Amino acid sequence: MAAFETLMGSIDYPMLVVTTRSAAGENSGCLVGFATQCSIDPEHYLICLSKKNHTYETAKRADLLVVHVLRDEDKELARIFGEETGDAQDKFTDVQWSPGPGRVPVLAGVDWFAGRIQQRFDCGDHVAHLIAVLPEGRAAKADADQLGYSSAQDLDAGHAA
């Protein structure tokens, strides 16, 4: 496993904030590093949420996810959604946001897309959420440098993986 861990640690995955809203109206969001586009037509995206994460618990009772693409300038959002846990505090009191598709929180000034959850499947300590991408979204900063894993390594996770 040492070779695998070394190689994975050398890849600069994009850091994302995923938000959701349960059917009962509970908002949640977290920093995500395990995600990828997995289909072109139809447009599908795969997001893995840690089973220990408050957002995972909320997403179990939700049908939509909003994926926010973080840029270098969004390190503070990465800190809030990566270091804090929704078990202890409402992260949305610290950021500007508005209701998006299905009233799921959309963070102000951040590029995003939304998707309807199609499937969930166990991946070990994470659960993969396959979403069908909706037409709503924002891509105003698509040319800006992404915030990658290497820039977020100094964050202290709100939960262990």
Predicted confidence (pLDDT) per residue in 57-87, tens digit: 999 999 999 999 999 999 999 999 988 666 6
Q: Where are the alpha helices (DSSP H) in the chain?
A: 2-9, 54-59, 75-83, 149-152
Domain range list for the chain: 2-152
Residue 160 burial by Cβ neighbours in a 10 Å radius (0-12, 13-18, 19+): exposed
| SS3 (DSSP) at 89 | coil
Would you say domain 2-152 falls under CATH 2.30.110.10? yes
Give the predicted TM-score (pTM) of the model: 0.90
Q: Predicted confidence band at 154 (pLDDT cuts at 50, 70, 90)?
A: low
End-to-end, the C-alpha distance of the chain in Å comes to 17
Calpha distance 132→129 (Å, rounded): 10
- What's the confidence (pLDDT) of residue 83? 82
